[in-house]
Structure 1
Amino acid sequence: MDLALLRTFVTVHRAGSFTRAAALLGLSQPAVTSQIRTLERQLGRPLFLRQARGVTPTTIGDELAHKAAPHLDALVEITESGLDEDSSLRTLHLAGPPEFTAERALPALTKLADDAGQGFALRASFGTAEEVLEGLSAGHHDLAITTARPRGALLTATALCDEEHILVAAPRWAQKIGAAPLHREDLAALDGIPVVEVHESLPFVARYWASVFDRRPTAPGTVVVPDLRAVLACTAAGAGLAVLPRYLCAVALERGDVVALHDPAVPPLRTYVLVVRTGTLAMPHIARAHEWLLRSAADWC
């Protein structure tokens, strides 16, 4: 069987589209379609179901991808690293949310690069859960950190750590509503406080309100910035209340730049997972980084 056909097939399977696969492979869309049809004729079975938007693998297609993808990835690793046994340089491509990746994962992996002494190189990119999983599936990344568990057998996820969320505001807002702990019946005290968030849909505040207060927030976002570090800075400056991960605002809490407005018995949690393409942990540099992040995460909870 032609390895080029298998490579095209795996790329289509990961991309979910002939068009996206063509862009990743540097081929025309008709060329990709032709290669998939050739492979289907050789196997005597359909590998994809064509739909209006992209393609869906058949059962045979999923089985073939699951068997072929790890071996193709290993071949790519060999060609990229070269055959020189004296060369130990490896590049790890990591993707994840900007704040968690910058504050947690990158410092840990930088320490690994220093300790390993094997020319460990690191490249990182940021994105949403959907973006990093799509990039991982397409082969752009080696590891992905996300709060969304992937579906299917081509990606393997391992729980990394839980992230505790805290309702915080600048001290002047805390003084305004009083020092007593908030209860569900006291929520009116929060109605006059502006909200600082990462998106107009108020994902962090809405999740906190639903989990702790069993209701939806009523105040709109007054300041919306797409980075939790900016949310913290605006909150400390007095822009309003926010829901933030404890790891991100722990120092600000210790300094008194922000204060916790609520101390629920069971704080809301969000779980991060570490995701790889199935089979790629056979590659030493990916396996080493994967294990190191899991070990480091024991100190993050």
Structure 2
Amino acid sequence: MDLALLRTFVTVHRAGSFTRAAALLGLSQPTVTSQIRTLERQLGRPLFLRQARGVTPTTIGDELAHKAAPHLDALVEITETGLEENASLRTLHLGGPAEFVAERVLPALTGLTGEDGRSLALRASFGTAEEALEGLAAGHHDLAISTVRPRGALLSATPLCDEEHVLVAAPRWADLIGDGTLRRTGPSALEQVPVIEVHESLPLVSRYWASVFDSRPASPGDVIVPDLRAVLACAVAGAGLAVLPRYLCTAALERGAVRALHEPAVPPLRTYFLVVRTGTLALPHVARAHDWLQRAATDWC
């Protein structure tokens, strides 16, 4: 059996689409369709059920994928290991939220480049979780950092770390509210304070209110800036309250530039996932970065 046909088949099985598989393989869709039909003729069985949006594997298709995929991944690993030994530079493309990638991921991966004397070129793209996962699925990234666990067989996710969210404001707002007022009166004590957020939908503030106060924010966002580092800068400047990851505002809290307005018994958490296309951990430079980030993340929690 032609290994090229099997490789195409496994890629379609993971992608759930001839179109997406063609993009990942660098082939045209008609070529992918032709290769799958050839393999189906050789086996005498249909491997996929064609649907309006993508394809679904048959029972035979599932069985073949589960048998063939590990061996194909092992062949890729053998081949790529040889290339790695002879190459002076490999490029890792990653996508994820700007703040977390800038503050956590890139500094960690920069440490990887010099550890064993091998270079690792980095190319980072910033975007939402959905954009990062779409870029990964399309083959634009090798790794993605996401706060959304992907579905389907194409992408594989590993929990990386949890971030704790903190309700903060500049000292003058904290003094105006007063110690203990929020515990006594609930979120109504905050209605006089402007809100700083990354989006009009108030994603972090709304999640915090729902988790801690079992309610919705009473006020819309007063300052909307699409970067949590800018949100922190606005909070330090006294523009209002904000909900921020603790890792991002720890230094500001320690120097008194902002103060925590509330310390709930169970703070809201958000999980980050390290996501790859299934099978690509056979690529040594992807596997090294994946393992390195997992080790680095043990100090982030």
- TM-score interval (norm. to shorter): 0.7 to 0.9
Is 1:300 aligned to 2:300, yes or no? yes
Task: Please state how far the C-alpha of 1:173 moved relative to its aligned partner.
Answer: 2.2
Question: What letter is aligned with 2:135?
Answer: G
Contact 2:23 2:138 in 1 (8 A): no
Q: Match of 1:5?
A: 5
For residues 68 and 229 of structure 1, the distance between their equivalents in structure 2, rounded to whole angstroms, comes to 46
**Aligned alpha-carbon RMSD (Å):** 2.9
Question: What letter is aligned with 2:260?
Answer: A
Question: What letter is aligned with 1:43?
Answer: L
Contact 2:90 2:119 in 1 (8 A): yes
Question: What letter is aligned with 2:141?
Answer: H
For residues 279 and 26 of structure 1, the distance between their equivalents in structure 2, rounded to whole angstroms, comes to 17
Contact 2:165 2:269 in 1 (8 A): yes
Question: What letter is aligned with 1:90?
Answer: R
For residues 172 and 274 of structure 1, the distance between their equivalents in structure 2, rounded to whole angstroms, comes to 39
Alignment size in residue pairs: 301
Q: Match of 1:254?
A: 254
Deviations 1:194-224 (A, max 9, x none): 2222222222111111111111222222222
Give the TM-score normalised by structure 2: 0.85
Q: Match of 2:49?
A: 49
For residues 71 and 146 of structure 1, the distance between their equivalents in structure 2, rounded to whole angstroms, comes to 29
For residues 84 and 203 of structure 2, the distance between their equivalents in structure 1, rounded to whole angstroms, comes to 49
Alignment of 1:8-157 (within 5 A): 8-69=8-69, 72=72, 83=83, 85-157=85-157
Task: Please state how far the C-alpha of 1:71 moved relative to its aligned partner.
Answer: 5.1
Contact 1:160 1:271 in 2 (8 A): yes
For residues 65 and 134 of structure 1, the distance between their equivalents in structure 2, rounded to whole angstroms, comes to 23
For residues 71 and 14 of structure 1, the distance between their equivalents in structure 2, rounded to whole angstroms, comes to 15
Q: Match of 1:168?
A: 168
Range with bigger deviation, 249-258 or 32-41: 32-41
Deviations 1:70-120 (A, max 9, x none): 555566677778758443533333222221111101101101112221122
- Structure 2 runs not aligned, ≥5 long: none
Range with bigger deviation, 51-60 or 260-269: 51-60
Inter-CA distance 292–239: structure 2 relative to 1 (3 Å threshold) = same
Inter-CA distance 211–84: structure 2 relative to 1 (3 Å threshold) = closer
Is 1:207 aligned to 2:207, yes or no? yes
For residues 53 and 153 of structure 1, the distance between their equivalents in structure 2, rounded to whole angstroms, comes to 16
Give the TM-score normalised by structure 1: 0.85
For residues 220 and 84 of structure 2, the distance between their equivalents in structure 1, rounded to whole angstroms, comes to 59
Contact 2:170 2:258 in 1 (8 A): yes
Contact 1:196 1:241 in 2 (8 A): yes
Q: Match of 1:232?
A: 232
For residues 219 and 59 of structure 1, the distance between their equivalents in structure 2, rounded to whole angstroms, comes to 53
- Structure 1 runs not aligned, ≥5 long: none
Q: Match of 1:241?
A: 241
Inter-CA distance 73–144: structure 2 relative to 1 (3 Å threshold) = farther
Task: Please state how far the C-alpha of 1:8 moved relative to its aligned partner.
Answer: 3.4
